[in-house]
Structure 1
Amino acid sequence: MKNSLALSALVLIACWLTACEDHRNSPNAPFPERINFVAERQYPEGIAYSSLLGKFVITSITQGKIGTVDTDGRYADLLSAPELISGIGVKVAGERLFVCVGDQGVSVKSTPQTAFKTAELLVFNLNTRQLERRVEMDNLLPDARHFANDLALSPDGTIYVTDSFSPVIYKIMPDGQASILVNDPRFASATFGLNGIVYHPNGYLIVAQTGAGKLYKVDLKNGNAISEVGGIASLPGDGLTLLNNDLYVVTGQGSRVAQVRSADNWQTASVVKTDENGYFQATTNVAVNNQIYTLNARIREISAAMGNTALLQSRDYSIQRFR
Protein backbone atom coordinates (compact mmCIF):
# COMPACT_ATOMS: atom_id res chain seq x y z
CA MET A 1 0.00 0.00 0.00
CA LYS A 2 2.75 2.43 0.93
CA ASN A 3 6.54 2.29 0.82
CA SER A 4 8.67 2.58 3.97
CA LEU A 5 11.81 4.70 4.13
CA ALA A 6 15.00 2.63 4.09
CA LEU A 7 17.59 3.90 6.56
CA SER A 8 20.61 2.61 8.40
CA ALA A 9 19.24 0.40 11.15
CA LEU A 10 22.32 0.81 13.32
CA VAL A 11 22.02 4.60 13.35
CA LEU A 12 18.35 4.57 14.22
CA ILE A 13 18.73 1.90 16.89
CA ALA A 14 21.34 4.08 18.59
CA CYS A 15 19.00 7.07 18.41
CA TRP A 16 15.89 5.25 19.63
CA LEU A 17 17.63 3.58 22.55
CA THR A 18 17.80 7.02 24.15
CA ALA A 19 14.22 7.94 23.28
CA CYS A 20 13.19 9.45 26.59
CA GLU A 21 10.46 12.01 26.27
CA ASP A 22 11.41 15.64 26.83
CA HIS A 23 10.24 17.21 30.10
CA ARG A 24 11.62 20.70 30.56
CA ASN A 25 12.94 21.39 34.04
CA SER A 26 13.34 25.15 34.31
CA PRO A 27 11.24 26.31 37.27
CA ASN A 28 12.26 29.93 36.81
CA ALA A 29 11.26 30.08 33.14
CA PRO A 30 8.27 32.33 32.46
CA PHE A 31 5.58 29.81 31.51
CA PRO A 32 2.22 31.58 31.86
CA GLU A 33 -0.95 29.93 33.09
CA ARG A 34 -2.56 30.29 29.68
CA ILE A 35 -1.04 30.71 26.23
CA ASN A 36 -3.32 31.92 23.44
CA PHE A 37 -2.11 31.52 19.87
CA VAL A 38 -3.32 31.94 16.31
CA ALA A 39 -2.78 29.25 13.66
CA GLU A 40 -4.96 29.29 10.57
CA ARG A 41 -7.11 26.14 10.31
CA GLN A 42 -4.53 24.19 12.32
CA TYR A 43 -6.88 22.02 14.40
CA PRO A 44 -3.97 20.71 16.49
CA GLU A 45 -4.68 17.32 18.07
CA GLY A 46 -1.34 16.55 19.73
CA ILE A 47 1.06 18.55 21.88
CA ALA A 48 4.61 17.94 23.11
CA TYR A 49 7.48 20.09 24.31
CA SER A 50 10.95 20.34 22.77
CA SER A 51 13.81 21.36 25.04
CA LEU A 52 15.95 21.68 21.92
CA LEU A 53 13.61 24.26 20.40
CA GLY A 54 12.43 25.73 23.70
CA LYS A 55 8.85 25.59 22.42
CA PHE A 56 5.67 23.55 22.45
CA VAL A 57 5.20 21.37 19.39
CA ILE A 58 1.71 20.81 17.97
CA THR A 59 0.27 18.66 15.20
CA SER A 60 -2.48 19.46 12.70
CA ILE A 61 -5.43 17.28 11.77
CA THR A 62 -6.31 19.33 8.69
CA GLN A 63 -3.04 20.72 7.31
CA GLY A 64 -0.61 17.80 7.46
CA LYS A 65 2.14 19.76 9.19
CA ILE A 66 3.83 20.32 12.55
CA GLY A 67 4.09 23.73 14.19
CA THR A 68 5.58 25.35 17.29
CA VAL A 69 4.16 27.70 19.91
CA ASP A 70 6.39 29.71 22.24
CA THR A 71 5.44 30.96 25.69
CA ASP A 72 4.42 34.32 24.25
CA GLY A 73 1.87 32.63 21.98
CA ARG A 74 3.79 32.98 18.72
CA TYR A 75 2.97 30.17 16.29
CA ALA A 76 5.31 29.08 13.47
CA ASP A 77 5.30 26.24 10.97
CA LEU A 78 8.04 23.72 11.76
CA LEU A 79 7.97 20.89 9.22
CA SER A 80 5.87 18.88 6.83
CA ALA A 81 6.17 15.94 4.45
CA PRO A 82 3.91 14.25 1.88
CA GLU A 83 3.63 11.28 4.24
CA LEU A 84 2.28 13.48 7.04
CA ILE A 85 -1.38 13.34 6.06
CA SER A 86 -2.88 14.24 9.42
CA GLY A 87 -0.81 14.52 12.61
CA ILE A 88 -2.41 13.16 15.77
CA GLY A 89 -0.40 12.23 18.89
CA VAL A 90 3.16 13.54 19.12
CA LYS A 91 6.18 13.05 21.37
CA VAL A 92 9.64 14.64 21.36
CA ALA A 93 12.82 12.96 22.57
CA GLY A 94 15.95 15.05 22.13
CA GLU A 95 16.53 15.66 18.43
CA ARG A 96 13.66 13.47 17.30
CA LEU A 97 9.96 14.01 16.88
CA PHE A 98 7.57 11.04 16.77
CA VAL A 99 4.10 11.59 15.34
CA CYS A 100 1.12 9.31 14.80
CA VAL A 101 -0.60 9.58 11.44
CA GLY A 102 -4.29 8.82 11.14
CA ASP A 103 -6.81 10.18 8.66
CA GLN A 104 -10.42 11.17 9.32
CA GLY A 105 -10.83 12.40 5.76
CA VAL A 106 -10.63 16.12 6.64
CA SER A 107 -7.00 16.87 5.78
CA VAL A 108 -5.91 18.72 2.67
CA LYS A 109 -3.86 15.55 2.02
CA SER A 110 -6.68 13.04 2.57
CA THR A 111 -7.51 10.59 -0.21
CA PRO A 112 -10.04 7.74 -0.51
CA GLN A 113 -7.10 5.35 -0.12
CA THR A 114 -6.01 6.82 3.23
CA ALA A 115 -9.21 8.04 4.92
CA PHE A 116 -10.11 5.82 7.90
CA LYS A 117 -7.43 3.34 6.78
CA THR A 118 -4.20 4.86 8.09
CA ALA A 119 -2.10 3.90 11.09
CA GLU A 120 1.52 5.02 10.75
CA LEU A 121 4.33 6.46 12.81
CA LEU A 122 6.70 9.06 11.37
CA VAL A 123 10.03 10.02 12.91
CA PHE A 124 11.54 13.42 12.07
CA ASN A 125 14.91 14.92 12.92
CA LEU A 126 14.38 18.34 14.51
CA ASN A 127 17.79 19.61 13.41
CA THR A 128 17.38 18.80 9.72
CA ARG A 129 13.54 18.88 9.66
CA GLN A 130 13.78 15.71 7.55
CA LEU A 131 11.78 12.50 7.76
CA GLU A 132 14.00 9.69 9.07
CA ARG A 133 11.59 6.80 9.34
CA ARG A 134 8.10 5.78 8.32
CA VAL A 135 6.54 2.79 10.08
CA GLU A 136 3.35 1.31 8.65
CA MET A 137 1.05 -0.52 11.05
CA ASP A 138 -2.27 -0.63 9.18
CA ASN A 139 -0.99 -3.49 7.03
CA LEU A 140 -0.74 -5.68 10.15
CA LEU A 141 -4.53 -5.89 10.22
CA PRO A 142 -5.65 -5.69 6.57
CA ASP A 143 -9.18 -4.76 5.52
CA ALA A 144 -9.92 -3.03 8.84
CA ARG A 145 -10.57 0.59 9.75
CA HIS A 146 -7.56 2.33 11.25
CA PHE A 147 -6.63 5.53 13.03
CA ALA A 148 -3.27 5.80 14.79
CA ASN A 149 -4.02 8.06 17.73
CA ASP A 150 -1.37 8.30 20.44
CA LEU A 151 2.01 6.90 21.38
CA ALA A 152 4.13 6.16 24.42
CA LEU A 153 7.93 5.95 24.51
CA SER A 154 9.65 3.46 26.79
CA PRO A 155 13.22 3.90 28.06
CA ASP A 156 14.58 1.08 25.88
CA GLY A 157 13.36 2.77 22.71
CA THR A 158 10.24 0.65 22.18
CA ILE A 159 7.18 2.63 21.08
CA TYR A 160 3.55 1.74 21.74
CA VAL A 161 0.75 3.15 19.57
CA THR A 162 -3.03 3.05 19.99
CA ASP A 163 -5.52 2.56 17.16
CA SER A 164 -8.92 4.16 17.75
CA PHE A 165 -10.77 2.28 15.00
CA SER A 166 -9.27 -1.18 15.53
CA PRO A 167 -8.99 -2.75 19.01
CA VAL A 168 -5.21 -3.01 18.99
CA ILE A 169 -2.07 -1.55 20.49
CA TYR A 170 0.98 -1.69 18.23
CA LYS A 171 4.54 -2.29 19.34
CA ILE A 172 7.44 -0.77 17.39
CA MET A 173 10.92 -2.03 18.18
CA PRO A 174 13.97 0.28 18.10
CA ASP A 175 14.87 -1.12 14.66
CA GLY A 176 11.46 -0.06 13.32
CA GLN A 177 9.89 -3.52 13.27
CA ALA A 178 6.16 -3.22 14.01
CA SER A 179 3.82 -5.83 15.44
CA ILE A 180 0.49 -6.05 17.24
CA LEU A 181 1.09 -6.08 20.99
CA VAL A 182 -2.54 -6.86 21.91
CA ASN A 183 -5.80 -7.27 20.01
CA ASP A 184 -8.71 -7.36 22.45
CA PRO A 185 -12.50 -6.93 22.09
CA ARG A 186 -12.53 -4.74 25.22
CA PHE A 187 -10.81 -2.10 23.12
CA ALA A 188 -13.47 -2.09 20.39
CA SER A 189 -15.94 0.76 19.98
CA ALA A 190 -18.56 1.88 17.50
CA THR A 191 -17.07 5.37 17.76
CA PHE A 192 -13.59 6.00 19.24
CA GLY A 193 -11.96 3.14 21.12
CA LEU A 194 -8.38 3.39 22.32
CA ASN A 195 -7.08 6.90 22.70
CA GLY A 196 -4.37 8.21 25.06
CA ILE A 197 -1.55 5.97 26.26
CA VAL A 198 1.30 6.29 28.76
CA TYR A 199 4.21 4.07 29.75
CA HIS A 200 4.60 3.55 33.51
CA PRO A 201 8.18 3.03 34.79
CA ASN A 202 7.01 -0.10 36.65
CA GLY A 203 6.68 -1.82 33.30
CA TYR A 204 3.11 -1.44 32.12
CA LEU A 205 0.93 0.73 29.91
CA ILE A 206 -2.17 2.66 30.88
CA VAL A 207 -4.61 3.38 28.06
CA ALA A 208 -7.90 5.24 27.75
CA GLN A 209 -10.83 3.51 26.08
CA THR A 210 -12.92 6.53 25.17
CA GLY A 211 -16.09 4.78 24.00
CA ALA A 212 -16.28 2.62 27.12
CA GLY A 213 -15.25 5.42 29.50
CA LYS A 214 -12.59 3.19 31.07
CA LEU A 215 -8.89 3.03 31.79
CA TYR A 216 -7.00 -0.22 31.18
CA LYS A 217 -3.63 -1.48 32.33
CA VAL A 218 -1.48 -3.62 30.02
CA ASP A 219 1.18 -5.46 32.03
CA LEU A 220 4.24 -5.78 29.80
CA LYS A 221 6.01 -7.95 32.39
CA ASN A 222 3.13 -10.42 32.66
CA GLY A 223 2.39 -11.55 29.13
CA ASN A 224 0.72 -8.22 28.25
CA ALA A 225 -2.17 -9.08 30.56
CA ILE A 226 -5.02 -6.59 30.30
CA SER A 227 -7.02 -5.46 33.31
CA GLU A 228 -9.49 -2.64 33.88
CA VAL A 229 -8.37 0.00 36.35
CA GLY A 230 -11.09 -0.30 38.98
CA GLY A 231 -12.59 2.19 41.37
CA ILE A 232 -13.36 4.87 38.78
CA ALA A 233 -16.80 5.80 37.51
CA SER A 234 -17.14 6.44 33.79
CA LEU A 235 -14.16 8.50 32.64
CA PRO A 236 -14.15 8.87 28.83
CA GLY A 237 -10.51 9.84 28.44
CA ASP A 238 -8.75 11.48 25.53
CA GLY A 239 -5.12 12.43 26.15
CA LEU A 240 -3.17 11.08 29.13
CA THR A 241 -0.03 12.35 30.83
CA LEU A 242 1.74 10.70 33.76
CA LEU A 243 3.45 13.08 36.18
CA ASN A 244 4.76 12.13 39.65
CA ASN A 245 2.73 8.91 39.43
CA ASP A 246 -0.53 10.80 38.94
CA LEU A 247 -2.40 10.48 35.66
CA TYR A 248 -3.89 13.61 34.09
CA VAL A 249 -6.84 12.72 31.90
CA VAL A 250 -8.51 15.07 29.42
CA THR A 251 -12.20 14.17 29.70
CA GLY A 252 -15.73 15.56 29.55
CA GLN A 253 -15.48 15.98 25.77
CA GLY A 254 -12.52 18.24 26.34
CA SER A 255 -14.16 20.40 29.00
CA ARG A 256 -11.99 19.41 31.97
CA VAL A 257 -8.88 17.58 33.17
CA ALA A 258 -9.03 14.97 35.91
CA GLN A 259 -6.08 14.17 38.18
CA VAL A 260 -6.21 10.43 38.86
CA ARG A 261 -4.17 8.64 41.54
CA SER A 262 -3.53 5.00 42.45
CA ALA A 263 -2.20 3.48 45.67
CA ASP A 264 -1.98 -0.12 44.40
CA ASN A 265 0.05 0.01 41.18
CA TRP A 266 -3.00 0.94 39.09
CA GLN A 267 -5.16 -2.00 39.97
CA THR A 268 -7.59 0.66 41.18
CA ALA A 269 -7.54 4.46 41.16
CA SER A 270 -9.59 7.50 42.08
CA VAL A 271 -10.04 11.06 40.88
CA VAL A 272 -8.39 13.35 43.43
CA LYS A 273 -8.93 16.67 41.67
CA THR A 274 -10.68 18.09 38.62
CA ASP A 275 -9.87 21.37 36.86
CA GLU A 276 -12.82 22.67 34.87
CA ASN A 277 -11.72 26.23 34.12
CA GLY A 278 -10.17 27.26 30.82
CA TYR A 279 -10.79 24.11 28.77
CA PHE A 280 -12.68 24.11 25.48
CA GLN A 281 -12.75 21.11 23.16
CA ALA A 282 -9.37 20.04 24.53
CA THR A 283 -7.55 16.92 23.37
CA THR A 284 -4.39 16.12 25.27
CA ASN A 285 -1.65 17.44 27.52
CA VAL A 286 2.07 17.47 28.25
CA ALA A 287 4.24 17.84 31.35
CA VAL A 288 6.47 20.92 31.37
CA ASN A 289 8.27 22.34 34.44
CA ASN A 290 6.51 19.78 36.62
CA GLN A 291 3.17 21.21 35.49
CA ILE A 292 0.48 19.92 33.13
CA TYR A 293 -0.37 21.94 30.02
CA THR A 294 -3.46 21.03 28.00
CA LEU A 295 -4.21 21.86 24.38
CA ASN A 296 -7.55 23.48 23.55
CA ALA A 297 -7.90 22.17 20.00
CA ARG A 298 -11.53 22.75 18.92
CA ILE A 299 -11.68 19.02 18.32
CA ARG A 300 -15.48 18.73 18.18
CA GLU A 301 -15.53 20.95 15.12
CA ILE A 302 -13.83 18.11 13.24
CA SER A 303 -16.74 15.74 13.85
CA ALA A 304 -19.27 18.43 12.97
CA ALA A 305 -17.54 19.11 9.64
CA MET A 306 -17.47 15.56 8.31
CA GLY A 307 -18.48 15.79 4.66
CA ASN A 308 -18.02 19.57 4.56
CA THR A 309 -14.44 20.56 5.38
CA ALA A 310 -15.17 24.14 4.31
CA LEU A 311 -16.60 24.55 7.81
CA LEU A 312 -13.16 24.13 9.34
CA GLN A 313 -12.00 27.73 9.54
CA SER A 314 -10.94 28.23 13.18
CA ARG A 315 -7.70 30.08 13.91
CA ASP A 316 -7.74 30.74 17.68
CA TYR A 317 -6.40 28.09 20.06
CA SER A 318 -4.85 27.96 23.51
CA ILE A 319 -2.74 25.99 25.97
CA GLN A 320 -4.00 25.87 29.56
CA ARG A 321 -2.06 25.00 32.72
CA PHE A 322 -3.70 22.64 35.22
CA ARG A 323 -4.49 24.42 38.51
Structure 2
Amino acid sequence: MLALPDGFQPEGIAIGDKPYAYFGSRADGDIYRVSLRTGRGDVISQGPGTPSLGMKIDDHGRLFVAGGSGGDARVIDTRTGKVLRSYTLQPVPSFINDVTLTGGAAWFTDSTNPVLFKVRNGKATSVPLTGDIAYSTGVNANGIVPTPDGKALIVVQSNTGKLFRVTYDGKATLIDLGTENVVNGDGLWLRGRTLYVVQNRLNVITKVELNRSGTAGTVVSRTGNPNFDVPTTIAEYGKRFYLPNARFTTPATPETTYTAVRVPIP
Protein backbone atom coordinates (compact mmCIF):
# COMPACT_ATOMS: atom_id res chain seq x y z
CA MET A 1 0.00 0.00 0.00
CA LEU A 2 1.00 3.63 -0.45
CA ALA A 3 0.69 5.94 2.54
CA LEU A 4 -1.00 9.30 1.93
CA PRO A 5 -1.00 12.28 4.31
CA ASP A 6 -3.26 12.13 7.34
CA GLY A 7 -6.46 14.07 6.74
CA PHE A 8 -5.86 14.23 2.98
CA GLN A 9 -9.21 12.71 1.90
CA PRO A 10 -8.10 11.31 -1.47
CA GLU A 11 -10.55 10.76 -4.31
CA GLY A 12 -8.85 10.99 -7.70
CA ILE A 13 -5.72 9.31 -9.04
CA ALA A 14 -3.74 9.66 -12.25
CA ILE A 15 -0.54 7.98 -13.43
CA GLY A 16 1.34 8.91 -16.59
CA ASP A 17 4.24 7.15 -18.30
CA LYS A 18 6.58 7.67 -15.33
CA PRO A 19 6.39 5.84 -11.96
CA TYR A 20 4.58 8.61 -10.10
CA ALA A 21 0.98 8.67 -8.94
CA TYR A 22 -0.93 11.90 -8.48
CA PHE A 23 -3.73 12.08 -5.94
CA GLY A 24 -6.34 14.80 -5.53
CA SER A 25 -7.81 15.86 -2.19
CA ARG A 26 -11.55 16.23 -1.93
CA ALA A 27 -10.97 18.38 1.16
CA ASP A 28 -9.02 21.30 -0.29
CA GLY A 29 -7.94 20.31 -3.80
CA ASP A 30 -4.25 19.74 -3.07
CA ILE A 31 -2.38 17.50 -5.52
CA TYR A 32 -0.04 14.98 -3.89
CA ARG A 33 2.62 13.17 -5.94
CA VAL A 34 3.97 9.80 -4.79
CA SER A 35 6.87 7.76 -6.15
CA LEU A 36 5.63 4.26 -6.94
CA ARG A 37 9.16 2.99 -6.33
CA THR A 38 9.92 4.53 -2.95
CA GLY A 39 6.49 5.49 -1.61
CA ARG A 40 7.74 8.97 -0.78
CA GLY A 41 5.62 11.93 -1.78
CA ASP A 42 4.81 15.58 -1.36
CA VAL A 43 2.21 18.17 -2.29
CA ILE A 44 3.16 19.66 -5.65
CA SER A 45 0.16 21.95 -6.12
CA GLN A 46 -1.85 23.75 -3.48
CA GLY A 47 -5.57 23.42 -4.02
CA PRO A 48 -8.10 26.25 -4.32
CA GLY A 49 -10.00 25.13 -1.22
CA THR A 50 -12.50 23.12 -3.26
CA PRO A 51 -12.12 19.47 -4.30
CA SER A 52 -9.84 17.76 -6.77
CA LEU A 53 -11.69 14.63 -7.90
CA GLY A 54 -11.22 12.63 -11.11
CA MET A 55 -7.94 13.26 -12.93
CA LYS A 56 -6.10 12.24 -16.10
CA ILE A 57 -2.62 13.02 -17.51
CA ASP A 58 -2.11 13.76 -21.21
CA ASP A 59 0.94 13.07 -23.39
CA HIS A 60 2.38 16.50 -22.54
CA GLY A 61 2.47 15.87 -18.80
CA ARG A 62 -0.59 18.00 -18.09
CA LEU A 63 -2.94 16.91 -15.33
CA PHE A 64 -6.64 17.55 -16.00
CA VAL A 65 -8.58 17.82 -12.75
CA ALA A 66 -12.33 17.69 -12.09
CA GLY A 67 -13.25 20.30 -9.48
CA GLY A 68 -16.27 18.71 -7.79
CA SER A 69 -18.48 21.16 -5.93
CA GLY A 70 -16.31 24.02 -7.17
CA GLY A 71 -17.94 23.64 -10.58
CA ASP A 72 -14.58 23.99 -12.28
CA ALA A 73 -11.72 22.18 -13.98
CA ARG A 74 -8.00 22.83 -13.79
CA VAL A 75 -4.99 21.90 -15.89
CA ILE A 76 -1.79 21.47 -13.89
CA ASP A 77 1.83 20.99 -15.00
CA THR A 78 2.91 17.73 -13.36
CA ARG A 79 6.55 18.81 -13.33
CA THR A 80 6.11 22.13 -11.54
CA GLY A 81 2.64 21.96 -10.00
CA LYS A 82 1.73 25.23 -11.70
CA VAL A 83 -1.91 25.73 -12.65
CA LEU A 84 -1.79 26.27 -16.41
CA ARG A 85 -5.49 26.88 -16.97
CA SER A 86 -8.66 27.04 -14.93
CA TYR A 87 -12.17 26.73 -16.34
CA THR A 88 -15.49 27.60 -14.74
CA LEU A 89 -17.69 24.85 -16.17
CA GLN A 90 -20.94 25.17 -14.28
CA PRO A 91 -22.22 27.60 -11.64
CA VAL A 92 -22.91 25.86 -8.35
CA PRO A 93 -24.74 23.74 -7.41
CA SER A 94 -22.76 21.31 -9.52
CA PHE A 95 -20.41 18.40 -8.97
CA ILE A 96 -17.74 18.02 -11.63
CA ASN A 97 -16.79 14.44 -10.86
CA ASP A 98 -14.52 12.80 -13.42
CA VAL A 99 -12.67 13.31 -16.69
CA THR A 100 -11.40 11.38 -19.68
CA LEU A 101 -9.10 12.42 -22.52
CA THR A 102 -10.00 11.34 -26.04
CA GLY A 103 -10.01 12.78 -29.53
CA GLY A 104 -7.92 15.78 -28.51
CA ALA A 105 -10.44 16.89 -25.88
CA ALA A 106 -11.07 16.50 -22.16
CA TRP A 107 -14.59 15.40 -21.22
CA PHE A 108 -15.95 16.04 -17.73
CA THR A 109 -19.03 14.62 -15.99
CA ASP A 110 -21.36 16.55 -13.69
CA SER A 111 -23.11 14.39 -11.11
CA THR A 112 -25.68 17.08 -10.32
CA ASN A 113 -26.66 18.41 -13.75
CA PRO A 114 -27.37 16.30 -16.89
CA VAL A 115 -24.54 17.69 -18.96
CA LEU A 116 -21.01 16.87 -20.07
CA PHE A 117 -18.31 19.48 -20.52
CA LYS A 118 -15.83 19.39 -23.37
CA VAL A 119 -12.53 21.26 -23.08
CA ARG A 120 -10.58 21.59 -26.30
CA ASN A 121 -8.03 24.12 -27.51
CA GLY A 122 -8.47 26.20 -24.37
CA LYS A 123 -12.25 26.48 -24.69
CA ALA A 124 -14.93 24.81 -22.55
CA THR A 125 -18.35 23.99 -23.99
CA SER A 126 -21.37 22.24 -22.47
CA VAL A 127 -23.00 19.21 -24.06
CA PRO A 128 -26.46 18.46 -22.59
CA LEU A 129 -27.21 14.79 -21.95
CA THR A 130 -30.26 13.43 -23.75
CA GLY A 131 -31.68 10.00 -24.47
CA ASP A 132 -31.94 7.16 -21.96
CA ILE A 133 -30.24 8.73 -18.94
CA ALA A 134 -32.51 10.30 -16.31
CA TYR A 135 -31.02 12.13 -13.34
CA SER A 136 -32.44 11.47 -9.88
CA THR A 137 -31.50 11.98 -6.23
CA GLY A 138 -27.92 11.08 -5.40
CA VAL A 139 -24.75 10.78 -7.46
CA ASN A 140 -25.59 10.55 -11.15
CA ALA A 141 -22.99 10.63 -13.97
CA ASN A 142 -19.61 9.77 -12.54
CA GLY A 143 -16.77 7.81 -14.18
CA ILE A 144 -16.14 8.28 -17.89
CA VAL A 145 -13.98 6.59 -20.55
CA PRO A 146 -14.06 6.24 -24.35
CA THR A 147 -15.75 3.25 -25.98
CA PRO A 148 -13.37 0.56 -27.29
CA ASP A 149 -13.77 1.88 -30.84
CA GLY A 150 -13.25 5.49 -29.72
CA LYS A 151 -16.43 6.65 -31.42
CA ALA A 152 -18.32 7.56 -28.23
CA LEU A 153 -18.03 7.73 -24.44
CA ILE A 154 -19.03 5.39 -21.63
CA VAL A 155 -20.50 6.97 -18.49
CA VAL A 156 -21.56 5.24 -15.28
CA GLN A 157 -24.56 6.52 -13.33
CA SER A 158 -23.66 5.69 -9.74
CA ASN A 159 -27.08 5.81 -8.10
CA THR A 160 -28.78 3.53 -10.64
CA GLY A 161 -25.85 1.27 -11.47
CA LYS A 162 -26.38 1.80 -15.19
CA LEU A 163 -23.75 2.25 -17.89
CA PHE A 164 -24.46 4.46 -20.88
CA ARG A 165 -22.89 4.85 -24.29
CA VAL A 166 -22.89 8.59 -24.94
CA THR A 167 -22.25 10.06 -28.37
CA TYR A 168 -20.13 13.17 -28.65
CA ASP A 169 -23.29 15.24 -29.10
CA GLY A 170 -24.66 13.97 -25.77
CA LYS A 171 -27.15 11.24 -26.71
CA ALA A 172 -27.07 8.53 -24.02
CA THR A 173 -28.07 4.94 -24.78
CA LEU A 174 -28.27 2.31 -22.06
CA ILE A 175 -25.55 -0.33 -22.36
CA ASP A 176 -27.08 -3.80 -22.18
CA LEU A 177 -25.62 -5.66 -19.19
CA GLY A 178 -28.41 -8.24 -19.04
CA THR A 179 -29.64 -8.52 -15.45
CA GLU A 180 -26.46 -7.02 -13.97
CA ASN A 181 -25.77 -3.51 -12.71
CA VAL A 182 -22.80 -1.62 -11.28
CA VAL A 183 -24.50 0.38 -8.51
CA ASN A 184 -22.09 2.70 -6.69
CA GLY A 185 -19.94 2.67 -9.81
CA ASP A 186 -17.26 5.34 -9.55
CA GLY A 187 -13.98 5.35 -11.46
CA LEU A 188 -13.75 3.54 -14.81
CA TRP A 189 -10.74 2.07 -16.60
CA LEU A 190 -10.68 0.67 -20.14
CA ARG A 191 -8.16 -1.95 -21.39
CA GLY A 192 -8.97 -2.97 -24.94
CA ARG A 193 -12.57 -4.16 -24.79
CA THR A 194 -12.45 -4.78 -21.05
CA LEU A 195 -14.04 -2.17 -18.79
CA TYR A 196 -13.18 -2.07 -15.09
CA VAL A 197 -15.69 -0.39 -12.78
CA VAL A 198 -14.82 0.57 -9.21
CA GLN A 199 -17.96 -0.02 -7.10
CA ASN A 200 -16.79 2.14 -4.25
CA ARG A 201 -18.99 1.26 -1.27
CA LEU A 202 -19.06 -2.38 -2.33
CA ASN A 203 -15.24 -2.50 -2.20
CA VAL A 204 -14.90 -4.34 -5.51
CA ILE A 205 -13.51 -3.90 -9.00
CA THR A 206 -16.04 -5.21 -11.52
CA LYS A 207 -14.79 -6.54 -14.85
CA VAL A 208 -17.08 -6.05 -17.86
CA GLU A 209 -16.34 -7.48 -21.31
CA LEU A 210 -17.72 -5.09 -23.94
CA ASN A 211 -18.39 -5.33 -27.62
CA ARG A 212 -16.30 -3.02 -29.77
CA SER A 213 -18.90 -0.27 -30.04
CA GLY A 214 -19.71 -0.34 -26.32
CA THR A 215 -23.42 -1.03 -26.76
CA ALA A 216 -23.45 -4.24 -24.70
CA GLY A 217 -21.33 -5.94 -22.09
CA THR A 218 -21.08 -8.95 -19.82
CA VAL A 219 -20.06 -8.78 -16.16
CA VAL A 220 -17.47 -11.55 -15.80
CA SER A 221 -16.03 -10.99 -12.32
CA ARG A 222 -16.01 -8.90 -9.18
CA THR A 223 -12.75 -8.68 -7.27
CA GLY A 224 -12.35 -7.42 -3.73
CA ASN A 225 -9.29 -6.89 -1.56
CA PRO A 226 -8.98 -6.86 2.24
CA ASN A 227 -7.18 -3.51 2.00
CA PHE A 228 -10.02 -1.77 0.17
CA ASP A 229 -11.80 0.91 2.23
CA VAL A 230 -14.20 2.55 -0.21
CA PRO A 231 -11.86 2.88 -3.20
CA THR A 232 -13.01 5.44 -5.72
CA THR A 233 -10.88 5.83 -8.82
CA ILE A 234 -8.37 3.69 -10.64
CA ALA A 235 -5.14 4.01 -12.62
CA GLU A 236 -2.68 1.54 -14.13
CA TYR A 237 1.10 1.24 -14.07
CA GLY A 238 3.36 -1.77 -14.56
CA LYS A 239 0.48 -4.23 -14.97
CA ARG A 240 -0.96 -3.21 -11.63
CA PHE A 241 -3.98 -1.14 -10.67
CA TYR A 242 -3.72 1.60 -8.06
CA LEU A 243 -6.79 2.82 -6.17
CA PRO A 244 -7.09 5.46 -3.43
CA ASN A 245 -9.14 4.53 -0.38
CA ALA A 246 -11.54 7.43 0.05
CA ARG A 247 -12.96 5.99 3.30
CA PHE A 248 -16.35 7.67 2.81
CA THR A 249 -17.79 5.67 5.70
CA THR A 250 -15.12 6.91 8.14
CA PRO A 251 -15.50 10.36 9.77
CA ALA A 252 -12.86 12.64 8.28
CA THR A 253 -10.58 14.40 10.76
CA PRO A 254 -7.11 15.93 10.40
CA GLU A 255 -5.77 12.72 11.98
CA THR A 256 -7.64 10.23 9.78
CA THR A 257 -5.19 7.98 7.93
CA TYR A 258 -5.43 7.35 4.19
CA THR A 259 -3.80 4.93 1.79
CA ALA A 260 -3.81 3.78 -1.80
CA VAL A 261 -3.87 0.10 -2.72
CA ARG A 262 -1.90 -1.69 -5.44
CA VAL A 263 -3.53 -4.83 -6.84
CA PRO A 264 -2.94 -7.20 -9.77
CA ILE A 265 -5.16 -6.52 -12.78
CA PRO A 266 -8.06 -8.99 -12.57
TM-score between the two structures when normalised by the length of structure 2: 0.89
Q: Which residue number corresponds to residue 24 of structure 2?
A: 59
The structure with more strand, counted as a fraction of residues: 2
1:207 Cα shift? 0.4
CA deviation vs aligned residue, 1:209-239 (integer Å, no higher than 9, x gap): 001110000123xx44320001242212111
Match of 1:10 in 2: none
Aligned sequence identity (%): 25
- Establish whether residue 189 from structure 1 lines up as the match of residue 136 from structure 2: yes
Taking the TM superposition and a 5 Å limit, the aligned residue runs for 1:78-227 are: 78-81=44-47, 83=48, 85-93=50-58, 94-103=60-69, 118-139=70-91, 145-156=93-104, 158-174=105-121, 176-184=122-130, 186-200=133-147, 201-220=149-168, 223-227=169-173
- CA deviations 1:265-313 (Å, max 9, x no partner) are 2211111122112322110101222433222221333xxx5xxx6x463
Q: Pick from 275, 289, 294: which aligns with 2:243?
A: 294
TM-score in terms of structure 1 length: 0.74
Amino acid at match of 2:35: D
CA distance in 1, matches of 2:197, 2:254: 26
- 2:184 matched to 1:239? no
Contact residue 124 and residue 132 of structure 1 kept, 8 A: yes
- Aligned-partner Cα distance in 2 for 1:95–1:77: 17
Could you say what secondary structure the match of 2:234 adopts?
Answer: strand
Q: How many residues align?
A: 258
Write 1 or 2 for the structure with the bigger share of helix.
1
Distance 1:252 1:120, change over 3 A: closer
Residue 257 of structure 1: aligned partner: 205
Match of 1:316 among 232, 246, 258: 258
Q: Distance in 2 between matches of 1:316 and 1:147?
A: 23
Separation in structure 2 between the aligned mates of residue 136 and residue 70 of structure 1, nearest angstrom: 31
Q: Tell me if the contact between 2:133 and 2:164 (Cα under 8 Å) persists in the aligned partners.
A: no
Distance 1:252 1:84 in 2: 24
Aligned structure 1 segments of 4 or more residues deviating by more than 6 angstroms: none
Query: In the aligned structure 2, how far is the partner of 1:138 from the partner of 1:263?
Result: 33
Structure 1 residues 260 and 126: alpha-carbon distance in aligned structure 2, compared to 1, 3 A threshold? same
Distance of aligned partners of 1:133 and 1:224 in 2 relative to their CA distance in 1, 3 Å threshold: same
Offset from partner CA, 1:174-223 (integer Å, 9 cap, x none): 2x222221234824121111110012342110001001110000123xx4
Q: Which amino acid aligns with 1:297?
A: A
> Which protein shows a greater Rg?
1
The code of the aligned residue for 2:27 comes to T
Root-mean-square deviation over aligned CA pairs: 2.1
* Inter-partner Cα distance in structure 1 for 2:236 and 2:134: 26
Residue 248 of structure 2 is aligned to residue 248 of structure 1: no
Looking at structure 2, the residues matched to 252 and 58 of structure 1 have their Cα atoms a distance apart, in angstroms, of 16
CA distance in 1, matches of 2:188, 2:209: 13
Amino acid at match of 1:169: L
